[in-house]
Amino acid sequence: MSMEGKVVLVTGAAGGIGKAAAKKFADAKAKVVICDVVEEAGKATAAELGADFYKVDVSDRKAVQAWVDDVIAKYGQIDVLVNNAGITRDARFVSVKDGQLVKQMDEAAFDLVIAINLKGSFNCAQAVAPQMIKQKSGSIINVSSVVGLYGNFGQTNYAATKAGVIGITKVLARELGRSGVRVNAVAPGFIMTEMTAKMPPEVLDGMKGKCPQGRLRNPEEVADVFYWLAGDESSYVNGATISVDGGLVLGT
């Protein structure tokens, strides 16, 4: 499968899954354009991969549109969008002790996660869609999570966004498919990134214990699925949500 010369946009690519995805496409000689709000790490990633870097807050529609417009002006096409940017702000929905409310998820934390994970995915997909329709080709890959499928304790906001991303994916697959644009979602399980590496060993062991394969996946294994969904080998895959979780949802 050749990606040479294809223009690939990856959001949230300063590290983790986004960086692994950008590297996968860059190694395949695609023209990779990444964005992130973390400027120093984003620039370092871009320099390492020979990619273009833009500092973009995906929740800011005007900033997203300016980024996409600049890419189109420079390259004349957009072939792939990996909607990867996302954050967590975990907290229990409510915590009650002796009949009294002790603590609850902060409204600001809910709004911020919605703005980045859900609205950000909407913004980026809507910004690239006209160009892809014009080309009569394109692949939009939305990054969801197994949490969006099955929920997770303390992640009301995150689960809502990742379930919402799946909903957006299904609608866009219907609306854009007739124009030659495919839209799919990937739902990773526990992934070994810089963030999870900082967790206590006992927490990591517990996460591994829930997976039939007995290990956490690495970002490159998720990037491999992005790469497949971007290419012609998956030409009849549209509106799907693919779990990359080592069988986590099956239990042990």
Taking Cα atoms as reference points, which of 120, 169, 119, 118 lies closest to residue 141? 169
Taking Cα atoms as reference points, which of 18, 21, 37, 145 lies closest to residue 84? 18
Lay out the sheet containing 181-188: strands in order across. Answer: 52-55, 31-36, 7-11, 80-83, 138-143, 181-188, 241-244
**Count of CB atoms situated within 10 Å of the CB of 76:** 10
Which active-site residues does the annotation give? 158
Beta strands in the chain (DSSP E): 7-11, 31-36, 52-55, 80-83, 94-97, 100-104, 138-143, 181-188, 241-244
